[in-house]
Amino acid sequence: MAWVLGVFGLAVLAYVGLCLFYALFQERFIFIRFRTSLRHRYPFPGVFEERFINTLDGAKLHALYFRAVRPRGVLIYFHGNTGSVRRWGKYAQRFVRLGYDVLMPDPRGYGKSRGDLSEIALHDDAELWYQQVLKQWKEADVVVLGRSLGSGLATPLASHHAPRMLILETPFANLLEVATNYLPVLPYRLLLRYPFRNDIAMKRMACPVYILHGKFDNVVPYASALRLYSLVPSSVHREMITFPKGHHSDLPRFPRYQKFLVRVLGPELGAM
């Protein structure tokens, strides 16, 4: 009997240790950050510029602003959790070709952005970028797009404003569901400091919502995106674009992805 209690005690200690480890180091799992030297020059095609914002709490935020030849609007692109605009910037051209300027910010700790992390700070930073865009554009010309973890910034931001539309690529209802999908044994409701409650924000949405998700996504469960879609208010135009063979990072390779962009954002400028 003593050995049974001993094994049970070790199991409990191991579980508590795992919980403490996650509580202390969760940011390293959620935000896969790569810093970029402030002297780095980005080699992307087309016309673009670097933009910086200094925040009240001492952070320095960085973004790339890509310019279309004859812009019909601006798209704010909140990228995924891995890498910085050094990686994600190449995707801006798919929207520039459709006639949209693209603002692509890096969260704190990514690329050239600096500052202490917290979920509140990240939402405040997204608001700062939105307000900067409104200095150049009418809100009716602003499109907000969130990719994966970026949906956790794009959704609450759009719910507090009235952009032209919200586009979510491989989003989640909340990060609790994503974490549980990876390791379901941990008490994430007690441990997780970054719940990113898209499900709560979505209930306040007033602009059109488009959700794109692959059924074979092994990072963000398709069921989580489907639940998020179900929470869009009935008074709001909504579409769920499902990719039956899509995974987490390959949706743009499907022809219907580009067809979707052309349909909701407009034809390529060269085709007009």
Q: Give 188-210 pLDDT, tens digit per residue.
A: 888 899 999 999 999 999 999 99
Q: Is the per-residue pLDDT at 101 higher than 70?
A: yes
CA distances in angstroms from 254 to 140, 223, 241, 249, 250, listed in the order given: 29, 21, 12, 11, 8
Whether 172 maps to a domain, the answer reads yes
Q: Is the per-residue pLDDT at 272 higher than 50?
A: no
Provide the H-helix boundaries in the chain.
Answer: 2-30, 85-88, 93-96, 119-133, 151-159, 175-182, 188-191, 198-202, 222-230, 255-265
Q: What is the pLDDT of residue 268?
A: 63
* Domain at 263, CATH number: 3.40.50.1820
Q: What is the pLDDT of residues 115-144, one digit of tens each?
A: 999 999 999 999 999 999 999 999 999 999
Whether 15 maps to a domain, the answer reads no
Q: What angle do CA 129, 79, 53 make, to 5 degrees?
A: 25
pLDDT > 70 in the chain, percent: 94
- Among the residue ranges 4-13, 66-75, 97-106, 238-247, the one predicted with the least confidence is 4-13
Q: How many angstroms separate the CA atoms of 247 and 260, rounded?
A: 17
Whether 21 maps to a domain, the answer reads no
Whether 252 maps to a domain, the answer reads yes
Better-predicted residue by pLDDT, 177 or 268: 177
Q: What is the pLDDT of residue 22?
A: 79
Question: To the nearest whole number, what is the mean pLDDT of the chain?
Answer: 93
Domain of 150? Answer: 31-271
Q: By the 8 A CB rule, do 236 and 203 touch?
A: no
Q: What is the pLDDT of residue 4?
A: 57
Whether 80 maps to a domain, the answer reads yes
Whether 18 maps to a domain, the answer reads no
Whether 6 maps to a domain, the answer reads no
Q: What is the pLDDT of residue 3?
A: 61
Whether 123 maps to a domain, the answer reads yes
The count of domains in the chain is 1
